[in-house]
Chain A
Amino acid sequence: MSIDEVTSSTASAARPVSASGRGAALFKVGLFALLIIYAGFIAALLIANISYMEPGNIAEVLRDPDLRFAARLTLWTSLLSAALAVFFAVPVAYALSRYDFPGKALVDTLVDMPIVLPNIVVGVTLLVFFQTAPGRALEGTGFRFVYTRAGIVLAQFICVAPYAVRTVAGAFSAVDKRLEDVARTLGWSAGQVFRRVTLPMVRGGIVAGGVIAWALAIGLYGPLMVFTGTTRQVTEVLSTSIYLELSIGRIGPALAISMLMVAFTMASLIIFKLLAGGQSLW
């Protein structure tokens, strides 16, 4: 083969590579254009809210005793419901990700149900449940839920627990079963293997499940309006405060509360993403 032949064959071989390179560049440009439009729209919403507020709104909200009560109530109810969600999510997620049993598909669907139900339906369902015999029997034990703060925790728990279950189940599924098998051959019982191998492996997933449950509980609104109402200094939480503020025409404080919640939710999501290590939710 002469040098000329080599040069021409190299040039012809290079052509398809450069064509595919242009295609890849166009593909990348298209992707980033859509990404910028989408993220930009959400950023524009936030900027619009901030620009609509007056400078003193945030301070006003932080000084208002009713709103301070609502913030405190939001904090402890959401923490409690997130803790309950994690408490149930760990065993439920482990059972769903590790074992096959009759009716598993049905149980799996029931666990997911609150994710797809409109939140207001959860509120109505809870209200109806406590009018039935099992609900009345439960309230007969002394635990009152309807129109109470305990009801806020219950409604938040029902709505956020499935997200915690899915996050933790994803973490359990990612654990190589062989790690558990080897621990058993090394002399550990099944319970010890769960505590000493499986749980440390899913620590990030459990924290991520807790964070997402907490963030969602803070923002929950629909079922609370139906099931617990929103009475000042009794059952008012920040999400329902926004409604109350809007209903009496105080747009500035309503936006200020919204922006405080946005800041908190963004911080929670960043923590969640770091801990979940890029795993998808389900």
Chain B
Amino acid sequence: MVERQNNAMLSVDALRMGVKGFALRDITFSVAEGDYCIILGPTGAGKTLLLETLCGLYRPQSGRVVIAGRDVTGLDPAARNIGYVPQDYALYPFKTVAQNVAFGLEARRLGRDETRRAVDRVLELLGIEHLRQRRPGKLSGGERQRVALARALAFQPDVLLLDEPLCALDEATRDRVIDDLKQLHADQGTTVLHVCHNTEEALRLGHQCVVMQAGRIVQEGAMEQVLNAPASAFVARFLRLKGLVRGAIARRDGVAAFCLDGAPPWAMPQCTLSPGPAYAFFPMQEVTVTLQRPEPEPDTLLLEGTIETNMARRGRCELRLNGPTRLRVPGIYPPATWTEGRCVYLSIPREKVRLLPDESNHR
């Protein structure tokens, strides 16, 4: 047994793994017991490969995987006690729903009565008792997803690994399944690692978030922390965070300033980035929008724009601004008198602004 770090149910340390010209490099993260961790990243980031490696379907070239205090790096998938739901659910077409759910319990050689009780419990938990005798071919997408979840949960795994479980569902079903997943997690307290590329899904479900790009982890942390302080412009853009503007860093008399076209430079004394193209990020909930130019304050930065579209008039909580920043300001319902073409001022607390390097500049 390996000593658990900070109550971690799953910890991955310096994992490296290469297959068919693609490599996972230096993957390190941990998920606390009972946490719901989302792995986010664009297509081709290596999310599914990471999940399959954690399942034991691929052997890592180096690094370590510890689940529930056991080093499982060299173990077969069968010995890891993990529940895995792949993208297409992979239900056995020649088995009924009850037989699919019982399949993992049979491998553990439980008695017939114990298996039946466990199957009943998990079918009831997911509200699919009525599907017990059906074959997977006769189920809807949402029902198949529940059966796959039931099968993965039936033997009470240490960690539940979900690979884009909602991507094949229509929007209404997806919405309902997200609520169900939240409830299930709250009731069961299972540690979940959920791969997805949908930001909204991640925001609604995750406590913790790991963002991947090209086989590497580019940011890891609590969901709020990642949303309020993205580590890079890529993370901000991928999460579709709104307060990201592109400009350049200049140094005058040894003091760094962030320069945007058509706006006075923002003095950023704490900035350590080199002069050149860069991004500024500020959480939109920290921004105050006014029609009148506010009085200058030493720790408040000012941004000016004209209203391109007042989305509130179209039933959406968003204000779109013209100008070099082309910002979308979500989360406010501007009055209808804020018509297109009017000038608005955005006041941003200086300590909330993060300057991020322009990665495209380093390629």
Is there an interface contact between B104 and A186, defined as CB atoms closer than 8 Å? yes
Most buried by B among A178, A182, A184, A200: A182
The closest CB in chain A to the CB of B79 belongs to: A187
Is there an interface contact between A184 and B88, defined as CB atoms closer than 8 Å? no
A179 to B92, CA, bound (A): 7
Q: Which residues of B contact A192 (CB under 8 A)?
A: 107
Q: Which residues of A contact B151 (CB under 8 A)?
A: 186
Please tell me which stretch of B50-58, B195-203, B219-227, B295-303 contacts chain A, meaning at least 4 of its Cβ atoms lie within 8 angstroms of it.
B50-58
Q: Which residues of A contact B57 (CB under 8 A)?
A: 181, 184-185
Q: Which residues of B contact A185 (CB under 8 A)?
A: 55-57, 77-78, 80, 82-84
- With an 8 A cutoff between CB atoms, is A201 at the interface? yes
Q: Which residues of A contact B88 (CB under 8 A)?
A: 176, 178
A192 to B82, CA, bound (A): 18
Is there an interface contact between B90 and A184, defined as CB atoms closer than 8 Å? no
- With an 8 A cutoff between CB atoms, is B46 at the interface? no
**What is the distance, in angstroms, from B136's C-beta to the closest C-beta of chain A?**
11
Using A185-B56, A197-B92 as known contacts, say yes or no to A178 and B78 having CB atoms under 8 A apart.
Answer: no
Is there an interface contact between B107 and A188, defined as CB atoms closer than 8 Å? yes
Is there an interface contact between A178 and B90, defined as CB atoms closer than 8 Å? yes
**What is the distance, in angstroms, from B301's C-beta to the closest C-beta of chain A?**
51
A179 to B151, CA, bound (A): 13
A200 to B93, CA, bound (A): 10
Interface string of B334-353 (1 = CB under 8 A from A): 00000000000000000000
The closest CB in chain A to the CB of B157 belongs to: A185
Is there an interface contact between B94 and A201, defined as CB atoms closer than 8 Å? yes
Is there an interface contact between A186 and B94, defined as CB atoms closer than 8 Å? no
- With an 8 A cutoff between CB atoms, is B282 at the interface? no
**A window 162-220: CB within 8 A of B:** 176, 178-179, 181-189, 192, 197, 200-201
The closest CB in chain A to the CB of B93 belongs to: A201
Q: How large is the interface on A (under 10, 10 to 19, 20 to 34, 35 or more residues)?
A: 10 to 19
The closest CB in chain B to the CB of A186 belongs to: B104
A104 to B324, CA, bound (A): 60
A157 to B102, CA, bound (A): 41
Q: Which residues of B contact A186 (CB under 8 A)?
A: 78, 103-104, 107, 151, 155
**B window 300-337: CB within 8 A of A:** none
Is there an interface contact between B92 and A181, defined as CB atoms closer than 8 Å? no
The closest CB in chain B to the CB of A178 belongs to: B90
A135 to B84, CA, bound (A): 52
Interface size on B, residues (CB 8 A): 23
Q: Which residues of A contact B52 (CB under 8 A)?
A: 181
Q: Which residues of A contact B108 (CB under 8 A)?
A: 187
**B window 61-91: CB within 8 A of A:** 76-78, 80, 82-84, 86, 88, 90
Is there an interface contact between B107 and A179, defined as CB atoms closer than 8 Å? no
Is there an interface contact between B86 and A187, defined as CB atoms closer than 8 Å? no
Is there an interface contact between B78 and A184, defined as CB atoms closer than 8 Å? yes
Is there an interface contact between A187 and B104, defined as CB atoms closer than 8 Å? yes
Most buried by A among B52, B55, B56, B92: B92
A105 to B83, CA, bound (A): 37
Q: Which residues of B contact A178 (CB under 8 A)?
A: 86, 88, 90
Interface string of B103-114 (1 = CB under 8 A from A): 110011000000
Is there an interface contact between B84 and A182, defined as CB atoms closer than 8 Å? yes
**What is the distance, in angstroms, from B76's C-beta to the closest C-beta of chain A?**
7
The closest CB in chain B to the CB of A201 belongs to: B94
A178 to B104, CA, bound (A): 15
**What is the distance, in angstroms, from B179's C-beta to the closest C-beta of chain A?**
25
The closest CB in chain A to the CB of B81 belongs to: A187
**Out of A182, A187, A189, A200, which one reaches B90, CB within 8 Å?**
A182
A184 to B79, CA, bound (A): 9
Q: Which residues of A contact B82 (CB under 8 A)?
A: 185
A89 to B55, CA, bound (A): 31
Q: Which residues of B contact A182 (CB under 8 A)?
A: 84, 86, 90
Q: Which residues of A contact B92 (CB under 8 A)?
A: 179, 197, 200
Is there an interface contact between A184 and B94, defined as CB atoms closer than 8 Å? no
A188 to B106, CA, bound (A): 9
The residues of B with any CB-CB pair to A shorter than 8 Å are 52, 55-57, 76-78, 80, 82-84, 86, 88, 90, 92-94, 103-104, 107-108, 151, 155
Q: Known contacts A186-B151, A188-B78, A189-B76; can you find 16 more A-B pairs with CB under 8 A?
A: A178-B86, A181-B84, A184-B55, A184-B57, A185-B57, A185-B78, A185-B82, A185-B84, A186-B103, A186-B107, A186-B155, A187-B108, A188-B107, A200-B92, A201-B93, A201-B94
Can you list 9 A-B contacts with CB-CB less than 8 angstroms, sorted by A residue number?
Answer: A176-B90, A178-B86, A181-B90, A184-B57, A184-B76, A187-B78, A187-B108, A192-B107, A197-B92
4 residue pairs, one from A and one from B, having the closest CB atoms: A187-B107, A186-B104, A184-B77, A185-B84
